[in-house]
Amino acid sequence: MQESGNHRWGMVIDLNKCTGCGECVAACKVENNVAIVGAEESEMDRTMFWMDIITTHEGEYPDTEVTYFPRPCFHCDNPPCTKVCPVRATYRNDEGIVTQIFPQCIGCRYCMAACPYTVKSFNWFAPDWPEEMNSSLNPDVSVRPVGVVEKCTFCIHRLQKAKELARAEDRELREGDYLPACSESCPTDAISFGDLNDPHSEVNKLAKSLRAFRMLEELGTEPKVYYLSKVE
């Protein structure tokens, strides 16, 4: 692993391995206290997912090819969302993570309009969980109030915890110390995560694979989430 500060965190998702089970979506919801939106609001496109699954169909029935694209925030190296934020509630940090500072957000939603991948969600209402679930919220992630934008943070709280632990044990951060909830929970190991700057990391090698591509690469946003295309 590289010295702290030289990291460039990224993700590689193998479409061959993804079965579309939705485990990553559920893990993300629970880890990050993402609000559950009812059917009525969902119909108005107000669903809230930090990790979503986009499903594509190719071919005519019965020879249909279904592909599942798990879709987190792509944490672009050249992010359009941060450039339009008037209050610096979202910015790209030194390690390439595009963070979202909820108490700073004024809810103007410029970033939502700027993001070509539509990864951001707006809190139209104050989040509401059944009483019994309140004690199961993750204390490491704040519950967002009404009127702010939110999105995947690559579980940055896990990075900070991993760094703290590594420093407390007087050692370098090792590969696998820091994994977002989606990557950790994937039952088929379709989601790899690590340091793209580390020449020995799995993601570094996978990102250089001939199968690797990124969403809407032509826009020049330089996403740090790579997909490995499906092969027979």
Partner 1 sequence: MHDIRKYLVTLVKIMAIFMLWGSSWAQESFQPVQFNHDYHLGDLGLTCLDCHKNAKHQERASIPNIDICSECHEDEFDNVEADKVFEYISFETAIPWKRVHRVPDHAYFSHRRHVQLGEIDCIVCHGDVEQMAAPFERPFVNMDMNWCLDCHEKSQISDECSDCHR
Q: Could you give the strand order of the β-sheet that contains 191-195, starting from the edge strand earlier in sequence?
A: 191-195, 9-14, 225-228, 212-213
Q: What are phi and psi of 92, to 5 degrees?
A: -95, 120
Decide whether 55 or 135 has the Cβ nearer to partner 1.
135
Secondary structure (3-state) at 1: coil
The two three-digit tokens of residue 186, written as one number = 């994937």
CB of 100 to partner 1, least distance (A): 8
Q: Which is nearer to partner 1, 98 or 207 (CB)?
A: 98
Which of 167, 174 has the CB closer to partner 1? 167
CA 148 centroid distance within chain: 18
**Buried/exposed code over 88-125 (b: 16+ C-beta within 10 A; e: otherwise):** ebbbbeebbbbbbebeebeeeebbbebbebebbbbbee
* Under 8 Å between Cβ of 100 and 151: yes
Distance of CA 64 to the CA centre of its chain: 28
Shortest distance in whole angstroms from residue 23 CB to partner 1 = 23
For binding to partner 1 (CB under 8 A), which residues are involved? Answer: 88, 91, 93-94, 97, 99, 101-104, 140-143, 153, 156-157, 160, 164, 167-168
Nearer to partner 1, 98 or 228 (CB): 98
Comparison of 157 and 205: residue with beta carbon closer to partner 1: 157
Q: How far is the CB of 63 from partner 1 (least distance, A)?
A: 46
